Amino acid sequence: MIEPELVAVFVGSSIRLAAPLLLAATGELVSERAGVLNMSVEGMMLTGAFAGAVGSWASGSPLVGLGFGVLCVLPVAWLQAFLSITLRANQIVTGIGINILVLGATTLGYRALFGSRSRAEIPGLDKWAPPGLADIPVLGEHVFHQTWLLYLAVLLVIGVAWVMRSTSIGLALHAAGTAPQAAANSGIKVRRIRYGAVLFTGFMSALAGCFLSIGDIHTFTEGMTGGAGYLAIAAVIFGNWRLGRTLLACGLFGAATALQFQLPAMGVQVPNALLIMLPYVLALLAVGGLVGRQVAPAALTQPYTGH
């Protein structure tokens, strides 16, 4: 029989591993709803992870690192917006190009700052549990005692859901990604909306990257995102461009990743390579449309040629 503590550890690990995906996927959902496919989410997350780690290491304060991470990602997001919205370049090609550029830049920067040290110890964000929940036996310690950035992520997602559903900004986002010319005719500044959506994706991806480096493992390693940005994009597709379903997709991917560590502890012998590839198999099923009919925003990836 599986011990309750192992189950609690698995649930807690799944939530922790899903949190950076949720942050990045929420930002990506906003961008795609506005009509811009942000393939550079991976690069934005990696930039945030590196800059957050450097800022925390240099200042000794993880809060400074968090702010520095966000500050450094915004120019990357602006570059993506400029290329895809102003220059109307191919959104997929530019996004992948930015990812490759960031991978090289962060690798070079890490080696220049930390030299041959394989793991640099970096001050990290504190853990916190909501009052009352921390006292629940077993669950309190393993499920609710998490980095406070995770709870901020939950609040941000709730705020995005409210904005998308109940405000004029949400309506403008939907219009910019569905019928941009009609939106422009009604007075909506389509390019401005799209720029804002891409910059918001950068902000959320920066938080996701900082979660990985200073929120979770308190260090930075080369290429540490390991495809998490692509999983975030897959989660949006898996969720059929709906925030609630995207949240569930991120939880599923987080649980699939947590199985890599929990199944051996539960005495279940499964080839490790199979467990490592499981989140990406689920992502492939999502992108391939094998989890149901996918209906993307009508103007997604289509450049807007108006003013």
Q: What is the mean pLDDT of residues 242-252?
A: 89
Residue 238: pLDDT band by 50, 70, 90 thresholds? Answer: confident
Q: What percent of the chain has pLDDT over 90?
A: 47
Q: What is the mean pLDDT of residues 144-168?
A: 91
Residue 292: pLDDT band by 50, 70, 90 thresholds? Answer: low
**Calpha distance 240→261 (Å, rounded):** 29
Query: What are the CA-CA distances from residue 250 to residues 23, 239, 264, 266 (Å)?
Result: 9, 9, 23, 23
**Calpha distance 289→292 (Å, rounded):** 6
| Mean of per-residue pLDDT scores for the chain | 86
| Better pLDDT: 185 or 262 | 185
Domains in the chain: boundaries? 4-287
- Please give the pLDDT value at position 12: 86
Where are the extended beta strands (E) located within 38-151?
A: 127-128, 146-147
- Please give the pLDDT value at position 210: 95
- Please give the pLDDT value at position 43: 95
Reply yes or no on whether the pLDDT at 266 is more than 70.
no
Q: Identify residue 46 by its one-letter amino acid code.
A: L
- Please give the pLDDT value at position 162: 94
Reply yes or no on whether the pLDDT at 11 is more than 60.
yes
Q: How far apart are the first and last CA of the chain?
A: 64
- Please give the pLDDT value at position 211: 95
Kindly report the CATH number that applies to the domain delimited by 4-287. Answer: 1.10.3470
Among 299, 249, 304, 232, smallest CA distance to 84 is for: 304
pLDDT in tens, 107-134: 999 988 887 655 667 888 888 888 877 7
Q: What is the mean pLDDT of residues 36-45?
A: 93
**Calpha distance 124→145 (Å, rounded):** 15
Q: What percent of the chain has pLDDT over 70?
A: 89
Residue 288: pLDDT band by 50, 70, 90 thresholds? Answer: low
Residue 41: pLDDT band by 50, 70, 90 thresholds? Answer: very high
| Better pLDDT: 38 or 119 | 38
